[in-house]
A = this chain, B = another copy of it.
Amino acid sequence: MLTDTVIHKASGALHQPVTDEGRALLDLVDEHLPAVRAGAAEHDRAGTLPAEVIEAYGRNGVLGGTVPAELGGVGVRSLYDVAVVLSRIAEADASTALVLHAQFSRGLTFQYEWKHGSPAASELAARVLKLMAAGDPVCGGVKDHHSGVTTLTPDGSGGWLLNGRKTLVTMAQVARHVIVSAETRVDGEPHRLAAPVLARDTPGMTVLDNWDGLGMRASGTVDIVFENCRLPDENVLLRGVVGARSDVGLAGQTVSSCTNLGVYVGIAQAARDIAVAAVARRRGTPAAAVRTLVAEIDTRLYALRATVGSALSNADIANVDLSGDLAERGRLMMLPFQYAKQHANKVVPEIVGDCVTLVGGASYTAAHPLARLYRDARAGSFMQPYTYPDGVDYLSAQALGLDHDSNYMNVRAARSAEATR
């Protein structure tokens, strides 16, 4: 049998970080992985977020993993490395990995604002990044509740009033700060996309306790309601006009979401390891179908790692190169990401399903780790930015040269604008 070392070296991509900062972050993460693993079953059963682990990761610096060193963080910039780290956490507990993805993702996007944003944006980003480095969990809300658009209106004294409801906000229950996407509503001006930052104790803000997922049950993915929350202008990042089509924003959307694929690589790896261990424990010659399934699982796992790893490398290369056409940079990042996402969304549930077949009836109980992975794996299709149908529209438009707005946040904003007209 191959030693673990050999398998890890040989088995495709996403096994080891490629930067020193990535390795440092992985070491910090490792410190509490036993606790993550130990609590996974109970948090899954109860549907509770492992607040104690998140706190511990705040204390040892993990929550500042993607905060630049100059601002007190670990300084990981490589998307690839973040995905490696997330895959390791997901092998222990996918929900915890999803929570940390939310944190790392904020750090990665604020890195960009800090370095390349306007002075106001850079200052706001620095403030948030320092809080993250100090151990504050920060969550982000993208998706509006079906009841309407989340809006910012002038408060009459230079600030803003935030109203609306965000849904499916991972980690909201423990976050000390919240960043949401919203649209401005200013008389006589076009609607703009904006990203206000709020402290958890902002009056008018209510974090609901309404998560009861099929899987990812420990991710605390709840709704947040905003009722006339008052914000100073310096806490709002202003972005483009709603409806102005541009592919520049695809870069930021890729950065924000692509490392999430590491979570699903970790799920597949964990399922595979459980199944192979179970089969190897059995006496006698493995049945024909068992050997075939094991070979098929390992083949797909290798292809999954290679595909996700390749997309993240593509994104890393394009991400740091601001010298050319920024719209083209956006496309160069989003396209491989979406290929890899479509691939992962299809193959991860298949791998986990075949692992259930290998382990047999013993895995068909609510508390079995493989049953948890079976439920967690299915969340992949609902991750940002594209669902399967949206992904098909996007990819086929790219291939065939069809007219298509690739910026999904823009499309959503335009859709809701139309719906409310």
Interface string of A179-219 (1 = CB under 8 A from B): 00000000000000000000000000000000011110100
CA distance A368 to B214 in the complex (A): 8
Instruction: Looking at the assembled complex, report how far the CB atom of A372 sits from the nearest CB atom of chain B, in whole angstroms.
Output: 9
Known pairs A2-B331, A303-B343, A343-B303; A288 contacts B292 (CB<8 A) = yes
- 8 Å CB contacts to B: which residues of A383-415? 387-396, 398-402
Task: Give the chain B neighbours of A119 by CB distance below 8 A.
Answer: none
Question: A389–B306 contact, CB under 8 A?
Answer: no
Which residues 1-45 in A have Cβ within 8 Å of B in the complex?
1-3, 6-7, 9-13
A146 closest partner in B (C-beta) = B362
Residues of B within 8 A of A342 (CB): 295-296, 299
Report the count of interface residues on A (CB-CB < 8 A): 88
Given the known interface contacts A289-B288, A295-B396, A307-B303, the answer about A331 and B10 at a Cβ–Cβ threshold of 8 Å is yes
Whether A401 lies near B280 (C-beta < 8 A) is yes
A276 at the interface (CB under 8 A from B): yes
- Check A399 against B360 for contact (C-beta < 8 Å): no
B213 & A336 in contact (Cβ 8 Å cutoff): no
User: Min CB distance, A148 to chain B, in Å?
Assistant: 16
**Docked-complex contact B343 and A391, CB < 8 angstroms:** no
Docked Cα-Cα span, A13 to B306, in Å, equals 10
Q: Mark A35-70, 1 if CB is under 8 A from B, else 0.
A: 000000000000100000000000000000000000
A365 at the binding interface (Cβ < 8 Å)? yes
Give A134-185 interface residues, CB cut-off 8 Å to B: 168
Contact indicator A310/B374 (Cβ below 8 Å): no
Q: Which of B302, B363, B400 contacts A339 (CB 8 A)?
A: B302
A320 vs B395: C-alpha distance when bound (angstroms): 38
Most buried by B among A299, A328, A390, A394: A299
Stretch at the interface among A90-98, A125-133, A230-238, A349-357: A349-357
A291 contacts partner chain B, Cβ-Cβ < 8 Å: yes
| Residues of chain B lying within 8 A (CB to CB) of residue A6 | 328, 331-332, 335
Chain B residues with CB under 8 Å of A244's CB are none
A295 touching B391, Cβ below 8 Å:
yes
Q: Which residues of B contact A249 (CB under 8 A)?
A: none
Question: What distance in Å separates the Cβ of A89 from its nearest Cβ neighbour in chain B?
Answer: 21
CB of A400 within 8 A of CB of B276, answer: yes
Shortest Cβ gap from A333 to chain B (Å): 8
A382 to B309, CA, bound (A): 29
List residues of chain B with CB within 8 A of the CB of A382: 360-361, 364
Q: Is A316 an interface residue (CB 8 A)?
A: no
Query: Is A417 interfacial (CB-CB < 8 Å)?
Result: no
Give the CA-CA distance A7 to B332 in the complex, in Å: 8
User: Quick check: is A294 within 8 A (CB to CB) of the other chain?
Assistant: yes
Cβ of A291 and Cβ of B392 under 8 Å apart? yes
Q: Bound state CA distance, A12 and B213, in angstroms?
A: 34
Our pick among B279, B287, B292, B365 for the contact of A212 (Cβ within 8 Å) is B365
20 extra interchain contacts, Cβ-Cβ under 8 A, other than A294-B396, A303-B307? A2-B335, A2-B398, A10-B332, A10-B336, A11-B339, A212-B366, A213-B364, A214-B363, A214-B375, A286-B400, A288-B389, A288-B393, A290-B396, A292-B392, A295-B399, A296-B392, A298-B395, A302-B307, A309-B310, A357-B387
- 18 A-B residue pairs with Cβ-Cβ distance under 8 Å, sorted by A, are A1-B398, A10-B331, A10-B333, A280-B401, A286-B396, A286-B402, A288-B292, A288-B389, A289-B393, A290-B389, A291-B392, A292-B396, A293-B389, A298-B395, A302-B339, A303-B306, A307-B307, A353-B378
Question: Which residues of A are in contact with B by a Cβ distance under 8 Å?
Answer: 1-3, 6-7, 9-13, 47, 168, 212-215, 217, 276, 279-280, 286-296, 298-300, 302-303, 305-307, 309-311, 314, 318, 328, 331-333, 335-336, 339-340, 342-343, 349, 353, 356-357, 360-361, 363-368, 371, 374-375, 378-379, 381-382, 387-396, 398-402
